[in-house]
Structures are given as structure tokens and as C-alpha cells.
Amino acid sequence: MTEQDFASIDALNDAMRQELTPGPGIGRVVPGEGPTPAAIAFVGEQPGDVEDQAGRPFVGPAGQLLDRALAEADIDRSRTYLTNAVKQFHFVERGKRRMHSKPRNTEVAHQRWWLWREIDLVRPAVVVALGATAGLALAERPVAVMRERGPMAFGNRRGYLTVHPSYLLRIPDSEAKHAAFAAFVNDLREVRRIGSLA
């Protein structure tokens, strides 16, 4: 298949649902969401439990934190495109709970083809990698988020590497969490400038 096979995001999503089937420890395909074209495309790691149940990206706790940061950076979420490098929730069952399981690098590489087709259809001015897994998918190499944070080329597209909002949720110290959130908002303001939304 080539990118010409997909006339729309809907056609791409239909093909992904046929190709990427759920199974033990792997949820359903959660497609990206947002307008096409969009000035900014945000790419996370994978859907979480809430996203798998809702069938929408970034609607769980990390998504709510992202919404707060977008609002502070004066970015309208409805004008952005949100998706994940890996389209299915990977999990380990512990009793009645489904615990997040990091996707393997081979899985990231396998689904990279779909991600690039998606980005081709969205045609963003800037692609934002939220965290190391998204960075790996887009840069096609391991990235050190804290060291390389900032503008980064992803193929022939302008990109930006920053933390995943779930990282902010895991910071135990309230003062450190506040500082990290402020730094994340500053990243988003720079993304907004690059995406010509300022």
C-alpha cells in the first residue's frame, strides 16, 4: 500500500481497524482525532484504558492535563490533530484492572507506516512528539527527551520534542510538578509560534 491508497483519514482508519486487530493484552484501534488539515499534530505513545473504552485519544487523566496546558498556551484543541504512535492500548491484567504496558520498539516500528500516512493526510505545519515513544516513532531513532527537548526535524517535517503529559502526572513533589507543567506550557507556546498560530 502507498499513501495514495487513502483518500481520507476515514479510509485510513478503516484500513487500520482491519489490519490491527485486538487480542490478549491489546485493545482496539483508537484513531486520531481533529481537523484535516491541522496546523499542529500531537503524537503520544498509545491510548490508555480510558481512551480504549471511549474510542478517542487523550480523554483520560493525561488528556485532561494536556487540555489545561493547551488552554494556558492559547491553543484551541479543536484546531489541532491528536493521535498516538501506537494505535492500540497495550496492557497487563491485574485482577479487574488493566495496567499500562509499554509497547515494544518492534511494535512502534511496525505501526510507523500508518502514522506517516496519517500525518501525510493531516498536513500539519508542525508535528509534536509527546514523550520518548512518539519521538522514537517520528525520529526513527531513540531520543532523550530531556536532553533533546525542543525543535527537531521528523523526516522532512518540522517537529518539536517534549514530555508526555503522563510524565507530569507522575511527579510526586507539588513544587516540581508545578515547574514541570510551566515548562510544558512554554514548549506549547513555542509550538504555537512554529505552527504560525500566534
**In the chain, where the domains are located:** 9-196
**Mean of pLDDT values over 52-73:** 97
From CA 118, how far away is CA 90, in angstroms rounded? 21
- DSSP 8-state code for residue 103: P
Ramachandran sector of residue 10 (left: φ over 0; alpha: ψ -120 to 50; beta: rest): alpha
From CA 22, how far away is CA 19, in angstroms rounded? 10
pTM: 0.95
At 140, phi and psi to the nearest 5?
60, 35
**Mean of pLDDT values over 109-113:** 94
Q: What is the dihedral of CA 135, 62, 101, 139, to 10 degrees?
A: -10
pLDDT at res. 197: 54
Ramachandran sector of residue 34 (left: φ over 0; alpha: ψ -120 to 50; beta: rest): left
pLDDT at res. 24: 92
Sorted by sequence, the CB contacts under 8 Å of residue 147 that are 6+ apart come out as none
Q: Please identify, in words, the CATH class of the domain defined by 9-196.
A: alpha beta
Query: Residues 1-54: pLDDT tens digits?
Result: 444 579 999 999 999 999 999 999 999 999 999 999 999 999 999 999 999 999
pLDDT at res. 195: 86
From CA 142, how far away is CA 58, in angstroms rounded? 23
> Which has the minimum average pLDDT: 2-11, 47-56, 125-134, 167-176?
2-11
pLDDT at res. 198: 44
For residues 97 and 117, the model is more confident at 117
Judge residue 34's burial from the number of C-beta atoms within 10 Å of its C-beta, 0-12 exposed, 13-18 middle, 19 or more buried: buried
Mean residue pLDDT across the chain: 94
Please name the residue that has the C-alpha cell 496519517.
Answer: 118
**Mean of pLDDT values over 52-70:** 97
pLDDT at res. 44: 98
Sorted by sequence, the CB contacts under 8 Å of residue 35 that are 6+ apart come out as 78, 79, 81
Q: What percent of the chain has pLDDT over 90?
A: 89
61 has pLDDT over 90: yes
pLDDT at res. 95: 85
pLDDT at res. 94: 87
Query: Residues 175-191: pLDDT tens digits?
Result: 999 999 999 999 999 99
Strand ranges, E, within 19-176: 26-29, 40-44, 81-84, 88-94, 97-100, 126-130, 150-154, 157-162
